[in-house]
């Protein structure tokens, strides 16, 4: 080969592509041979891969690659012909050779520069092939992920499954075809151009959807023309036959004929538009589908190297493990695959380090010495569902409970009462680790919180289950593609917003009486738990819309193991939206991840749910949460007078509320003075009824604040208290109360009569 050929970048690039494909074949085949050294198919595949790389290295002048591939081929031929039984030491050396060949493709050695690693490997493989004694082969570990991708710090496990088969990952066959076999033509296109093509095709698809409103408009025009023609006929019939001259008659006839021709022409144009719209829509859909399909890759692509990583790590840890993959052909967007690699590496390394036990321990527990990690991939409703399961020891719940208490996440009393689900939730907290020492694999406190964060960035979710002593499972749900997102479109402040369905638990509608005030927040009861309510209009800083006649629309969003209800104005419906990234010059827009267009061309913002959770936390910390049913209650207040009952006794509070409701008043409740003060500042009331002895803020302090507030100075106030001494009564009245009722003399009519005296009957 001439120096000019050596400098030919296209040949080196070709070798790099072939090295990537053939070393993948080697990795997969050698891992099979480690379990079954006589597996004929894997021996043949590995020998051919080494032979191909030897020839390719010779063509581009990589002498080091020729040496390594040649000795690997000799070793594999010896095994094929039955003169050599491959041992783990042989596999170590052969895998090291595959790594060297891959590195030569990425960074070719300079001519004339010796490579000690190559010479050492050639000598080692030669000795192993001849059965001569050699020093122990060093374990070649796959590169560890960066600190941000360090493995989760939990013990995870999984349930055993039926005996599977491991299929080798598909090689990049097009490399050989590029090398000159001529069976196919490959055109390399940059990712940016492919993304641009997808963007154009998605926009054209949306634009064609706008033809339907245009067709509807033409249909209305056709009806108007028909109406005009009928009106003209009626007018002509109403005219006296002898009261119109010939010229006017001719003009009426001409007008009628023109209207008829217009109708015929419009009908033809509508037919043509329908045909064009259908055909154009089909072509736009086909273009989009083709552009999207060009981005789709089999799920197996993200697993390239993972089995090798597990094999090397298991050798270093003295464990045995097999990776089983089901659904490796499942198609996923390449961007999703790239961003799945880090969390999957987290979970796989974690499963091996924390979940899979040492062989002797597994045997003592009645398990096979070899552990198993299963990854199952499948499609469901436009999402990619992943299950990662191992058959290790599971999470030691008592050890986890002790870690929660010792690290100050819970008091000892609270920690002892935590359920299994509540304990597992701590594993997703930032910096939480059950390891006392830092190792090469774990103990840095970068754990499941990193996995959860990365999955949420994909607009997906992750959850965990475990069976102590039998295994743990992680379930991941992410979109198949980031270019489209299935969303619930809602209206907030008169504008459309989209919430990705992956974050939505369900939707519901509430009545005003379903909402209760607890500890300064509004809640409603759903499936055995209190769910906090937040107004979407407050988070997005939009004006609050008009109350709905058929209930308050609420979207339930899950945050780890808790739910919160997002109150919106209207459910528009479920849509599949083409994602349009925001202009990078805008920077990060709070609570928004991207934009999209509805079928009629209306722009819609896709909300960033994780960002919204941070906004909710800030509002909770500031104590500035507004009531979500404020407008509905104020609308009802125009018909019925409103009373706020403040009492820390649930019994007294409910008794007073039911009495007032039975009389026809609209009633809200608060659990103490602070809760009542927040309610008074948030909405309008006609009367305040308060106890005196309450936590956080007592009734005297509450009445004092009311009388100092210019907006509330005229608000009637009634004190209902167990304290019935004269000095207690005087103290309440001096603070500003208009009426003082002792609970000792409390009865139904006394309370209601006092309310009527203060504000009159419930209706205006």
pLDDT digits (tens, 9 = 90+) for 540-549: 888 877 766 6
Query: Tens of pLDDT along 136-189?
Result: 544 444 444 333 333 333 332 333 333 333 333 333 333 333 333 434 556 667
Please compute the mean of the pLDDT values over residues 727-754 and round it to a whole number: 82
Beta bridge pairs of residue 690: 646, 719
Token pair of 722 as six digits:
């167990």
pLDDT of 254: 85
Judged against a pLDDT cut of 90, whether residue 371 lies above it is answered with yes
Please compute the mean of the pLDDT values over residues 11-20 and round it to a whole number: 81
Beta strand pairing status for 371-380 and 461-467? unpaired
Contacts of 319 by beta carbon, 8 Å cutoff, 6+ apart: 352, 356, 357, 358, 359, 371
Judged against a pLDDT cut of 80, whether residue 630 lies above it is answered with no
The residue with greater pLDDT, 689 or 105, is: 689
pLDDT of 364: 92
Mean pLDDT comparison of 70-74, 499-503, 524-528, highest-scoring range: 70-74
Nearest-angstrom CA–CA distance, 95 and 387 = 29
Judged against a pLDDT cut of 50, whether residue 4 lies above it is answered with no
**Alpha helix ranges (H) inside 107-190:** 116-129, 174-176
Contacts of 309 by beta carbon, 8 Å cutoff, 6+ apart: 141, 142, 345, 348, 349
Mean residue pLDDT of the chain comes to 79
Nearest-angstrom CA–CA distance, 54 and 66 = 5
Nearest-angstrom CA–CA distance, 509 and 514 = 10
Note whether 407 and 116 are within 8 A (CB): no
Beta bridge pairs of residue 529: 526
Neighbours of 187 (CB within 10 A): 4
Note whether 171 and 25 are within 8 A (CB): yes
pLDDT of 544: 76
| pLDDT tier, 224 (very low <50, low <70, confident <90, very high otherwise) | confident
Query: Tens of pLDDT along 690-714?
Result: 998 888 888 999 999 999 888 888 8
Q: Is 578 helix (H, G, I), strand (E, B) or coil?
A: strand
pLDDT of 353: 87
pLDDT of 121: 86
Please compute the mean of the pLDDT values over residues 184-207 and round it to a whole number: 73
pLDDT of 619: 74
Token pair of 123 as six digits:
């000598």
Note whether 684 and 728 are within 8 A (CB): no
Catalogue the E-assigned strands of 261-382: 296-298, 321-326, 331-333, 371-380
pLDDT of 493: 87
Query: Tens of pLDDT along 37-55?
Result: 999 999 999 998 998 888 8
Note whether 553 and 567 are within 8 A (CB): yes
Judged against a pLDDT cut of 50, whether residue 724 lies above it is answered with yes
Nearest-angstrom CA–CA distance, 140 and 125 = 15
Nearest-angstrom CA–CA distance, 221 and 103 = 70
Please compute the mean of the pLDDT values over residues 266-270 and round it to a whole number: 85
Nearest-angstrom CA–CA distance, 582 and 597 = 13
Query: Tens of pLDDT along 298-318?
Result: 998 888 788 888 888 888 899
Judged against a pLDDT cut of 80, whether residue 745 lies above it is answered with no
The string of DSSP codes covering 399-445 is: HHHHHHHHTTSS-HHHHHT--HHHHHHHTTSTT--S-SS--SSS-SS
Note whether 79 and 42 are within 8 A (CB): no
Nearest-angstrom CA–CA distance, 112 and 103 = 17
H and E: helices and strands count for the chain: 25, 23
Percent of the chain topping pLDDT 70: 82
Note whether 74 and 129 are within 8 A (CB): yes
Q: Among the listed ranges 402-416, 723-737, 743-757, which one has the minimum average pLDDT value?
A: 743-757
| pLDDT tier, 491 (very low <50, low <70, confident <90, very high otherwise) | very high
Judged against a pLDDT cut of 90, whether residue 763 lies above it is answered with no
Nearest-angstrom CA–CA distance, 443 and 435 = 5
Token pair of 278 as six digits:
């259908």
Beta strand pairing status for 603-607 and 570-578? unpaired
Mean pLDDT comparison of 63-72, 129-138, 376-385, 585-594, highest-scoring range: 63-72
Note whether 24 and 171 are within 8 A (CB): yes
Nearest-angstrom CA–CA distance, 323 and 263 = 70
The residue with greater pLDDT, 727 or 690, is: 690
pLDDT of 484: 78
Q: Residue 137 burial (CB < 10 Å; 0-12/13-18/19+)?
A: buried
The residue with greater pLDDT, 443 or 110, is: 110
pLDDT of 369: 93
The residue with greater pLDDT, 454 or 599, is: 454
Please compute the mean of the pLDDT values over residues 275-285 and round it to a whole number: 82
Contacts of 219 by beta carbon, 8 Å cutoff, 6+ apart: 270
For every residue of 667-710, which 3-state class applies, written as one string?
EEEECCHHHHHHHHHHCCCCEEEECCCCCCCCHHHHHHHHHHCC
Judged against a pLDDT cut of 60, whether residue 747 lies above it is answered with yes
pLDDT of 46: 92
Judged against a pLDDT cut of 80, whether residue 202 lies above it is answered with no
pLDDT of 216: 78
Nearest-angstrom CA–CA distance, 494 and 92 = 65
Query: Taking Cα atoms as reference points, which of 115, 51, 27, 43 lies closest to residue 79?
Result: 43
Catalogue the E-assigned strands of 206-357: 296-298, 321-326, 331-333
pLDDT of 506: 86
pLDDT of 358: 92
The residue with greater pLDDT, 329 or 238, is: 329
Note whether 280 and 103 are within 8 A (CB): no
CA 436 to the chain's CA centroid:
32
| pLDDT tier, 635 (very low <50, low <70, confident <90, very high otherwise) | very low
pLDDT of 167: 34
Query: Tens of pLDDT along 387-421?
Result: 999 999 888 888 888 888 888 888 888 888 888 87
pLDDT of 746: 64
Query: Tens of pLDDT along 583-607?
Result: 888 887 888 888 888 877 788 999 9
Judged against a pLDDT cut of 70, whether residue 614 lies above it is answered with yes
Q: Is 355 helix (H, G, I), strand (E, B) or coil?
A: helix
Q: Is 597 helix (H, G, I), strand (E, B) or coil?
A: strand
The continuous run of DSSP H or E covering 572 comes out as: strand 570-578
Nearest-angstrom CA–CA distance, 429 and 154 = 11
Judged against a pLDDT cut of 70, whether residue 71 lies above it is answered with yes
pLDDT of 325: 92
Nearest-angstrom CA–CA distance, 346 and 342 = 6
Q: What does R_g of the chain's alpha carbons equal in angstroms?
A: 37
Percent of the chain topping pLDDT 90: 15
Token pair of 537 as six digits:
């209009």
Q: Is 153 helix (H, G, I), strand (E, B) or coil?
A: coil
Note whether 303 and 169 are within 8 A (CB): yes
The residue with greater pLDDT, 390 or 8, is: 390
Please compute the mean of the pLDDT values over residues 460-483 and round it to a whole number: 86
Note whether 31 and 47 are within 8 A (CB): no
Q: What is the pTM of this model?
A: 0.58
DSSP state of 763: B
Judged against a pLDDT cut of 90, whether residue 501 lies above it is answered with no
Contacts of 329 by beta carbon, 8 Å cutoff, 6+ apart: 298, 299, 300
């Amino acid at each position: 080969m001439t120096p000019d050929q050596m400098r030919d970048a296209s040949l080196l690039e070709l070798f790099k592509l072939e090295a990537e494909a053939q070393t993948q074949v080697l990795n997969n085949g050698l891992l099979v041979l480690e379990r079954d050294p006589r597996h004929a198919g894997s021996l043949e595949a590995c020998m051919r891969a080494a032979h191909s790389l030897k020839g390719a290295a010779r063509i581009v002048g990589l002498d080091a690659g020729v040496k390594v591939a040649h000795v690997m081929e000799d070793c594999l031929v010896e095994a094929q012909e039955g003169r050599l039984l491959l041992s783990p030491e042989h596999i170590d050396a052969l895998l090291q050779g595959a790594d060297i060949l891959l590195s030569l493709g990425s960074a070719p050695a300079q001519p004339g520069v010796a490579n000690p690693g190559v010479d050492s490997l050639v000598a080692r493989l030669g000795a192993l092939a001849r059965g001569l004694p050699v020093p122990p082969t060093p374990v070649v570990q796959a590169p560890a992920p960066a600190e941000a991708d360090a493995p989760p710090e939990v013990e995870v496990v999984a349930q055993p499954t039926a005996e599977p088969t491991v299929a080798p990952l598909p090689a990049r066959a097009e490399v050989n075809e590029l090398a000159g076999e001529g069976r196919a033509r490959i055109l390399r296109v940059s990712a940016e151009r492919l993304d641009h093509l997808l963007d154009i095709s998605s926009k054209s698809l949306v634009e064609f959807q706008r033809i339907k409103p245009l067709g509807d408009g033409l249909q209305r025009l056709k009806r108007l023309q028909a109406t005009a023609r009928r009106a003209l006929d009626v007018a002509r019939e109403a005219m006296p036959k002898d009261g119109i001259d010939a010229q006017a008659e001719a003009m009426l006839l001409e007008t009628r004929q023109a209207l008829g021709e217009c109708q015929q022409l419009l009908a033809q144009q509508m037919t043509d538009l329908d045909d064009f719209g259908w055909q154009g829509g089909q072509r736009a859909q086909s273009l989009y589908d083709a552009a999207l399909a060009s981005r789709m890759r089999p799920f197996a692509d993200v697993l390239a190297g993972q089995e090798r990583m597990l094999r090397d790590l298991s050798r270093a840890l003295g464990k045995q493990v097999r990776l089983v993959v089901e659904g490796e052909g499942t198609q996923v967007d390449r961007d999703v695959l790239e961003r799945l690699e880090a969390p999957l590496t987290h979970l796989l390394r974690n499963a091996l380090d924390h979940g899979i036990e040492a062989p002797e321990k597994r045997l003592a527990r009645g398990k096979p010495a070899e552990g198993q990690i299963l990854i199952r991939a499948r499609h469901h409703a436009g999402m990619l569902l992943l299950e990662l399961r191992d058959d290790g020891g599971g999470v030691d719940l008592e050890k986890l409970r002790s870690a929660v208490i010792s690290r100050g996440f819970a008091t000892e009393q609270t920690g002892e009462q935590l359920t299994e689900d509540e304990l597992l939730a701590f594993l997703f907290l930032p910096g939480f680790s059950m390891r006392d020492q830092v190792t090469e694999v774990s103990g840095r406190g970068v754990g499941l919180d990193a996995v959860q964060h990365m999955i949420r960035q994909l607009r997906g979710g992750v959850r965990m289950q475990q069976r102590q002593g039998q295994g743990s499972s992680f379930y991941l749900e992410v979109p198949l593609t980031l270019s489209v997102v299935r969303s619930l479109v809602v209206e907030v402040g008169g504008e459309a917003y989209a919430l990705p369905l992956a974050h939505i638990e369900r939707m519901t509608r509430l009545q005003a009486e379903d909402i209760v005030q607890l500890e300064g927040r509004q809640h409603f009861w759903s499936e055995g738990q209190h769910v906090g309510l937040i107004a979407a209009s407050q988070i997005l800083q939009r004006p609050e819309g008009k109350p709905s006649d058929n209930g308050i629309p609420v979207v339930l969003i899950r945050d780890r193991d808790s739910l919160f209800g997002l109150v919106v104005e209207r459910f528009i419906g479920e849509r599949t939206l083409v994602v349009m990234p925001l202009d990078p010059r805008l920077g990060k827009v709070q609570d928004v991840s991207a934009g999209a267009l509805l079928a009629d061309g209306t722009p819609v913002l896709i909300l960033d749910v994780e960002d919204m959770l941070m906004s909710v936390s800030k509002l909770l910390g500031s104590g500035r949460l507004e009531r979500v049913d404020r407008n509905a209650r104020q609308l009802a207040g125009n018909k019925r007078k409103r009373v706020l009952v403040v009492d820390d006794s649930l019994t007294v509070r409910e008794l007073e509320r039911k009495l007032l409701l039975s009389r026809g008043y609209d009633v809200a409740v608060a659990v103490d003075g602070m809760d009542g003060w927040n309610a008074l500042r948030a909405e309008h009331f006609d009367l305040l009824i308060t106890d005196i002895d309450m936590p956080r803020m007592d009734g005297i302090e509450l009445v004092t604040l009311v009388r100092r507030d210019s907006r509330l100075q005229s608000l009637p106030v009634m004190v209902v208290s167990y304290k019935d001494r004269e000095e207690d009564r005087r103290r309440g009245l001096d603070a500003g109360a208009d009426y003082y009722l002792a609970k000792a003399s409390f009865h139904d009519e006394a309370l209601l009569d006092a309310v009527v005296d203060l504000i009159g009957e419930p209706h205006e």
